Amino acid sequence: MMSKDATWFYHRVTEVALERLTTIVLPVTWRDPRTSSNSRIDMDLYVVHSLIWASTILLQLDNIMNLKVSLAATKLVELINQLSEEDYQFLDPVLSVSILFPRHVSFKSR
């Protein structure tokens, strides 16, 4: 079993890595629907952003009232709201799990 110091260290390192990722990953880009039959969103970037925000929420679950959780949940909901009905067929199935996190957090904080 890891000591509290080691657990805190790994938690902090993970938190810093997620913060760095949010600053270096390109923003979600939109494609012109007239030039492509694929989704109008770059789904690879969409998945990366969604997983960063979901990971941030998971990392902070012991402290639901943390503002980082609120920001991450808000960002994840904003990503979901950007999707059109035509985009869902292009989504990576792993996102079905990450999309549940904002709902879980909002119910837990009440």
pTM: 0.76
Domain span including residue 105: 39-110
Whether 11 is in a domain gets the answer no
pLDDT digits (tens), the chain, 110 positions:
567 777 888 888 999 999 999 999 998 877 666 665 566 788 888 889 989 998 888 888 777 678 888 888 889 888 888 888 888 888 878 777 666 655 555 545 44
Task: Give the whole-angstrom CA distance, residue 95 versus residue 60.
Answer: 19
Whether 31 is in a domain gets the answer no
Whether 8 is in a domain gets the answer no
Number of domains present in the structure of the chain: 1
